[in-house]
Structure 1
Amino acid sequence: MKKVLEAVGFTLALWGVVGLVHAWTGWFAPPGAVRALEFFDGYEVHAEVALIVLGGVVMVTADRIASRASR
């Protein structure tokens, strides 16, 4: 379970970072979830930062769940 949550968290954080790179530089056009959803129009940068934070929270939660289960 820990590995799955870590992979999900890493993927969310990576989507957020790639989306920010695209928003700031226009260099890379990712097929991300934020660009596909119309209600984020005008708030893409905020949504990308939220993805990074959410990914970090999921990864920390996975670590805490694993350490609690090993007790």
Structure 2
Amino acid sequence: MLMSSGEQAATLLYGPNGFRVIKPGRFVTCAVTGEPIALEELRYWSVDRQEPYASPEISTRRLLGQA
């Protein structure tokens, strides 16, 4: 999903079972690819690194140090 330039990125606190919105917004940016991820579509993140990921493949690459 493309985000319009007028929309602001959210700031989240990532936990093991979900995330908490610290600063409201409609999306976060994937820590590896830089692509926007709508909050409704966010499913993958690292609690330890506090980073969101666009897909399980990207998350695994990051975990294995390949990204």
Relative to the length of structure 1, the TM-score reads 0.23
TM-score normalised to structure 2 length: 0.24
Bigger Rg, structure 1 or 2 = 1
Higher helix share: 1
Which has more strand, going by share of residues? Answer: 2
